[in-house]
Amino acid sequence: MSSNKNNTIIHQQIKVVPPSSTQTTTSTIPLTFLDIVWLRFHPNERIYFYALHDSHSHPSFFFQHIVPNLKSSLSLTLQHFLPLAGKIVWPSDSSKPFMQFNPNDNDNGVSLLIAESDADFQHVIGNSPHEASLSRSFIPNLESSHLCASVISIQITLFPSSGFSIGITTHHAVFDGKSLSMFVKAWAYLSKKNIETGESPPLLPELEPLFNRDIIKGTTENNSIEILSKLFPAENGNERSLKIFPSEPKLEESVRATFKLTREDLDKIKQKVLSKWEIMDTNESKPKTLSSFILTCAYSFVCIAKAIHEVEKEKEKFALAFAVDCRARLELPIPDNYFGNCVPGYFIDTNPLDFIKEDGVFLVAKCIFEKIKMIKEKGVLEENMVDVFHKYGSLFKEGFVTFGVAGSNRFGVYENDFGYGRPEKVEIVSIDKGLSIGFGDSKDGNGGVEIGLVLKKHVMDLFSTLFLEGICGNSKLFHQYSKE
């Protein structure tokens, strides 16, 4: 056994493999252009927290019943997701990297840690600001080297007498958010069915992953070395490396918190934005409605920008980039169960000071709306992903604070019941590696959203004030607009 400074004990580390009957031949999956651009970027990290009650929360029940069920159902899930039990490799005789599952490789399998923490479960899952580093005790590392990289690793952590968590770290060149959501839903489905019936039924059709890369026309034909040399010019001569580029979380003096916008809150923000739209001299008519994504991003990022600017006066230039799921938006739409990256990124066309202007929420919402409209009209691959990353680097050098978005309110993360109830909390941990919000659906299922944040403590305090006052109507985030 080993422990870390947060008093989380690792009891066991094993490799979970698919049932032996499914391990017959080597399976190789190419990476598309949309995968390659993420090849060396930091992994996605997400935690699902579950409360346990009565005898189920006792360590003996957890280790004798819950852990074995989660292990066995994970193995059964992997028979449907075989490439995840393999690795990303880049042999010297190949012009590009690929995923490979080799049944004869003893190093195959998904790394699974079984852990125990003495942290206060209610404190960990609370929405109020708490130390940003705490969540990092409940997620595993993802192994990578110059020669190969793991695809997924998992940590199951017991909080005695309270609950447990499932922390999942995934390689971005294999998973986008939609793919991770599909995998977790499949695992939860088989786990719950195993408890209820003692059997492993077939997966629901929508949970059966489609790994066929040929359906995304032209994207498997890419010059991987050229792409990576453009993304990482300082790595000259080492373009074939699969080692994930170092990206340390920003934890010093930082806190993590979760904020909510109810359906009613979103409607308030929408009405205020649309009322401003009516009196602006624009070339286009006011939209009939605005999505929860647009409203949440505009409102949240304006609050963040104003808080950062107030605390650090020299920071006044801001930009926003986000990714778009293009499964249904390609010229030839691909099935919803396609497994891989299908999320090109885009910068919205704001002016540097828009986020801290008095009309900031309206200005940012309008720019997001126009970018999404452009994507629908011109197609999702209009912009080159390499250019998007270059722009990110250029803006950073120019002193911009660049925001991002992780997650979606369409993934239904609170529906993932492994047989022990729905999650008490779902958290995107990896937002602490940049200024991104963790964006998700609300636990109550009533059309609201959750926003996860990691900020410096003084910035978080001011953000919280701005965020809550804006909803209550006691803030300068919105003018009281009129047509007079």
Active-site residue (options: 172, 176, 432, 441):
172
Query: ∠ at Cα 40 (73, 342), nearest 5°?
Result: 65
Active-site residue (options: 325, 417, 458, 461):
417
Phi, psi of 151 (to 5 degrees): -100, -35
Distance between CA atoms of 382 and 223, rounded to whole angstroms? 19
Distance between CA atoms of 229 and 363, rounded to whole angstroms? 36
| Distance linking the first and last C-alpha atoms of the chain | 71
Pull the structure tokens for residue 174.
């294999």
Pull the structure tokens for residue 60.
């003996």
- Quick one: 484 exposed, middle or buried, by C-beta within 10 A (0-12, 13-18, 19+)? exposed
Determine which helix (DSSP H) or strand (DSSP E) holds 113, and give its type and residue range: strand 110-117
Q: Are 219 and 384 in contact (CB under 8 A)?
A: no
Torsion-angle region of residue 447: left (phi > 0), alpha (psi -120 to 50) or beta?
Answer: left
Phi, psi of 257 (to 5 degrees): -150, 160
Query: ∠ at Cα 324 (322, 329), nearest 5°?
Result: 155
Active site residue 417: yes
Question: Which of 172, 228, 224 is CA-nearest to residue 340?
Answer: 172
Pull the structure tokens for residue 11.
């009891």
Q: Any alpha helices (H) in 320-473, and if so which ranges?
A: 360-378, 385-397, 457-472
Active site residue 172: yes
* 22: Cβ contacts below 8 Å, ≥ 6 apart: 79, 82
Distance between CA atoms of 121 and 7, rounded to whole angstroms? 13
Distance between CA atoms of 82 and 20, rounded to whole angstroms? 12
Distance between CA atoms of 117 and 163, rounded to whole angstroms? 10
* 343: Cβ contacts below 8 Å, ≥ 6 apart: 34, 176, 177, 178, 323, 324, 325, 326
Which residues does the annotation mark as catalytic?
172, 417
